[in-house]
Structure formats: structure tokens, C-alpha cells
A and B are shown apart, each in its own frame.
Chain A
Amino acid sequence: MAQLPIIAVKNLTKRYGSTTTVKGISFEVKKGEIFGILGPNGAGKTTTLEMIEALRPIDGGTVLLDGIDVAKKPQRIREIIGIQLQSSNFYDKVTLKEQLKMFGSFYGESVDPMELLESVQLAEKSKSFPEKLSGGQKQRFSIACALVNKPKVLFLDEPTTGLDPQARRNLWELIQTINADGITVVLTSHYMEEAQLLCDRLAIMDQGEIIALDSPKAMIKQLLKRGFTKKEQVEQADLEDVYIDLTGKALRE
């Protein structure tokens, strides 16, 4: 029996004046997968994500999330999703523990802040203010905050941008752990290595359209079938391998 998709996007469109930034795209996200949206800056990734998250009005098309129409019941949608936004922040001078309690109350849930903080390795920072965290810690806290309502889908907008290699690897592991608990993950990224490692399936966007949609492996296979060859012999190791070998995988913060 074919499982119903957790997210079904049909002819989704966004216009700003005379320019159309998202041009009637359609795709589905399966329950339990990690789905990536890739593309250059300005391709419409964040706009697409924010329309699915009920943060931006939908100008055309429909989005069904867990069978609920996003445009009609945005409040229901907010209750079942978790969001890590690219340009959001947390109140200053409010400890991580207090933030999680407050965010829990927004969903009508009383959360165990310490358990959440432990799951993102921030237990010892429970009494710190968010403005005192490093980049990687901030992203992990942001994910902890997106998990307060035990969401069905977790949205991550460029979660590893600006992080050092150690913090990035650490975050990848965290995302995989969350996904292993049964939470569907939708993320955007600029890093091909990240997309290849994490994502079960990918959509590549450019100029408001989806120009490819498949698993990373299948995409590479199709490219090779078209007769593509790399100019140089693939090396057995690259500079990042050298860097990680020398500095180790341990988190620095």
C-alpha cells in the first residue's frame, strides 16, 4: 500500500508585483524521509519553504501537509511543524531553559527543557543567554526549540551555513538522529556534500522552478549516463579529510 505523502505541493506560485519568484512548482515529500531543496541564491528556496510553513501567503496552487490545507488552516499547521528559520533570533537575556518553557507553552505543552537540551548537547548551557552561544550552539538550540511540540515535520533553512567543519558534522549527526526518531526533515542547503550525505531525495531549484527531483544517487547516475566525466582523476582524499584528520571531529566552542 502506497503511503500518503506528508507534504503534497501542487502548482505553488508566489508573485511580487510583476515578478514571479515561485513558478507553479509541484512535488511531494514522503513520510520519514530527509528532503533537500538546493539551488543558487534567489532561486526561491526560502520563499517556497515559508509558504509551506504558513508564514507567507500562497498566491497560487495548494499545499497539503499531513492532509491539512496550509492556506485554509495555518494555525493547525503551526501546531504540527517545527521551524528553524534562517533570519530569526531568540529573545536576549532569557536563558535557554526559560526560552524552551515559554515556547512549549505556546503549543500548550509543558516540556522538559533539560531533556531537550541534552538531546542537542546543550545541557550545561541551560542557564546561558542565547546571545552568548557560538554559531553551532545557536543552530542546535534553534533545533531544540523547533522540537518542543514533537513536530511531524522539521523544516531547516540552511542549517549549517557559517559553521566550521566540526560543528557542521556534529549537526549532520543530530539531524540524522532526529530523522531516525521518525520526524520528516525538509532542509535547504548550499552544500552539495551535505545534501549528498543527508538527503534521501532532492529538488534542485533555479529561477523559481524545479529543474530536477530525485535521489542524489540517481541524479549522479543520470549525469554519468549523459557522458559526463570529471576532468581530473578522483583523489582518494581531499583537503577537508586532511583538515578533519589534523584537527579531529571534536566540537570546538
Chain B
Amino acid sequence: MNAILLFAFTQTKRFFRDPIALFFTFAFPLIFLFVFGGIFGGNDNIKFEVAIYNNSDTAFAKKFVSDLTSGDTFEQVTDAGTIESAKEKMGRGELDTVLVLPQNFGNPNKQSLPSGQLEVYYDEAKPQTGQTVASVLSSVLAGINNDLTKTAPPFSVKQVATTNSGLSNFDYTFSGLLGFSMLSLAIFGLASRIPADKNNGSLRRIRATPFRPSQLIVGTMLYYGFIGALAVLLMIILGVTIFNFDMRGSWLQFALFSVPSFIMLLGFGLLVGGASKNENQSAVLTQIVALPMMFLSGVFFPRFLMPDWLQAITAYIPLSPVIDGIRMITTEAKTVVDLGPELGLIALWIVLVYLLTIKLFRWE
């Protein structure tokens, strides 16, 4: 026991003396956090970038444009150039829609009320955008019509937002980010460190002593578990302070759930690193093990968007219960008692992966 602890302690010191290892362990997940935090953070409101061509010089048309762009829904793009170049930009996705007010827009009609027809251009490939913009504008115009004709419509629609939890996109994404950084800490870090020690002969030297592979595996798990916990903690602190992460559950429940999760993921790193002869082998094995977890476990998009049959299969991928569990704790305030199925699956993977690790470990 003393040997395992002293080994873990010595390895931890060694780790903190290695600037490259420190960078990849602590800065990498943070870069990831900032990139995805930037994408999913921000404003959740729908906003359309619009180029407006007002060919009318009526006061009504001018007021209409300024009212439209002073709201939150439309953001006017003024550097779009000609209508043709604006349509081109729309084709590339730089603009959402193009509005044209014809020359006679706002001119009085037979009842001497302002009238006219708006032209809305949208990309054929994005019919939803076109429909949404058209319906938003229709309701704006309907309001104006009602004011002008002084009539109240007998029927109307009242919009009520259904996501009353008040959680932002980032709050949902963060659980995926935490799961992903645990995965990358465990697999990308460990799987290359162990073969590097084989290559330079330092494991060869330890092999000549009574220190057993099982002791080496447990010692490595301990020190890397400690380092990983620090990295995740740092990520959480930044998520809460910079991205206003809204934690619904308890941090204690999160910690209780994370420990077995991380032990399981470390097992995969130990398995790949321990079984590989050299760094080339471990690089290939790392991809084989990590890629399915990265793309099929709900890191980048939730699993419930997958077809049913794929959901059924991907539920058993080791990282899936981890991300599902974290998401349920952080967004639904679930506790480890509620997460029995997830923890059971994680326990099963722990047994399996550590048995394989002990069996397939090689000193050189």
C-alpha cells in the first residue's frame, strides 16, 4: 500500500514539473469550454440578419423600417451592397433574408390609407427562415392594419414560451463538456503517457523490482484521478463564474456521481496505454476507443435526437450513462439514488475494463 501511495505521490510531483503535460491537461479543456461556451452561450432569442432596400420615400415607409430594426428580431445589415450581392450573401448564409419596399409602399390607397406590399426574399434551402420571417412581418403589418382601420380582430393568438425552466443552451451543453473533458483527460492523457514510459525504459527498470502491474495500475489511477479532479474543478469554476452556469442539482451529488464515472474512463486510458507496445499503437487504439464515445454519447448533440434504434445501442456506450447522469443532476436536480441504472452500467464497465487492463498489461 505504501508503495502504491509513494508511487502515486512521486508521479504527481513529476506531472507538475512537466509544462507540456500541464498545458494539455488544464488548458485544453478550458479552450474547449470557451469555444463551445461561445457558440452555445450568448443570446437564445431568434434573430434575423436582414438587408433592407427601401425604394419608397414616403414617411410611412421610413417609419416602418426604423420600427422594424429597433426591435430585437431583426438586425439590419447595411453593407450588403446591391440587391444582387445581398442575395448572393444570403446564399452563403451570411444573411437570413432580404426585404424590399417597392416604390409605391406607403402611398395612400382608395380609402386614403397607406398601403403597399412587402417583398421578402429568402434562401430556397431554408424555407423555415422564409416562413418565420414572413409570418413575423405579417403580424407586424396586421397590427398596423388594425391601427389604421380602427378595428380589433375577433381572434388572436397569444404566444407562451414553454421552456419555463429558464435554463440556457449552455446549461445543457455544459454536462456534455464535462463528460468530454473527463474522457479526454482519461484517455488522451494516460494512453500516451504509459507507452512513453515504456519507450524510455523507465517501466523496464520498475519491472525488475517486486512492484506488480496491479500496483502500478492502481497507483497511476490514483495520481491521474487527482489531477483529473483538479482539471474538472477548474472547468466548473470557470463555467459558473464566466458562463453563469445554472446548477440545479447539488454539487455533492455531482461529485458522488463523477468519481465512479472518472474511474471507469481512466480504466480505458489505462487499458489502451497498458496494452500498447509503443506510442504509435496507443495513438491508433485511442482513436478507436474514443471516437465512438465522442460522437455517439451525446457530447456534441443530445442522444434523444438520434433515431430510436441508435439510441438503444448508444445507451450502452461507456460515456453515455456518464453524460446522461451529469445532465440529470445539473439540469433536473436528480440524485445518485435516482441514477441507479446509469451507475449500474458504469459499474459494469468498471469491472470489465479493469479486468481487461490487468490481463492485457505489458511492461514493454
Q: Which residues of A contact B (CB under 8 A)?
A: 53, 55, 75, 78-79, 83, 85, 87-94, 98-99, 101-103, 105-108, 145, 149
Contact = CB atoms under 8 A, between A and B. Distances in A.
B2 interface: yes
A78 B14 contact: no
Interface string B3-17: 100110011011001
A91 B209 contact: no
A108 B3 CA distance: 7
Contacts of B201: 85, 87-89
Interface of B: 2-3, 6-7, 10-11, 13-14, 17-18, 197, 200-202, 204-212
B295 to A, nearest CB: 35
A106 B210 contact: yes
11 contacts: A75-B210, A87-B201, A88-B205, A89-B200, A89-B202, A93-B18, A98-B10, A106-B206, A106-B209, A107-B210, A108-B2
A102 B7 contact: yes
Contact of B207 (A55, A93, A102): A55
B12 to A, nearest CB: 11
Q: Which DSSP category, helix, strand, loop or mixed, fits chain B's interface?
A: helix
Given A101-B6, A105-B6, A93 B14 contact: yes
Contacts of B14: 91-94
Contacts of A93: 14, 17-18
Contact of A98 (B13, B197, B204): B13
Contact of B204 (A87, A101, A103, A107): A87
B209 A107 contact: yes
A83 B197 CA distance: 18
Q: Which of B7, B13, B14, B210 has the most CB atoms of chain A within a 10 A radius of its CB? A: B210
Contact of A105 (B2, B17, B202, B205): B2
B315 to A, nearest CB: 41
B3 A94 contact: no
B15 to A, nearest CB: 8
B352 to A, nearest CB: 27
A105 B204 contact: no
A143 B102 CA distance: 92
A92 B200 contact: yes
Given A101-B6, A102-B6, A108-B2, A85 B208 contact: yes
A212 to B, nearest CB: 29
A99 B210 CA distance: 15
Nearest to A81: B208
B114 to A, nearest CB: 78
Nearest to B206: A106
B11 to A, nearest CB: 8
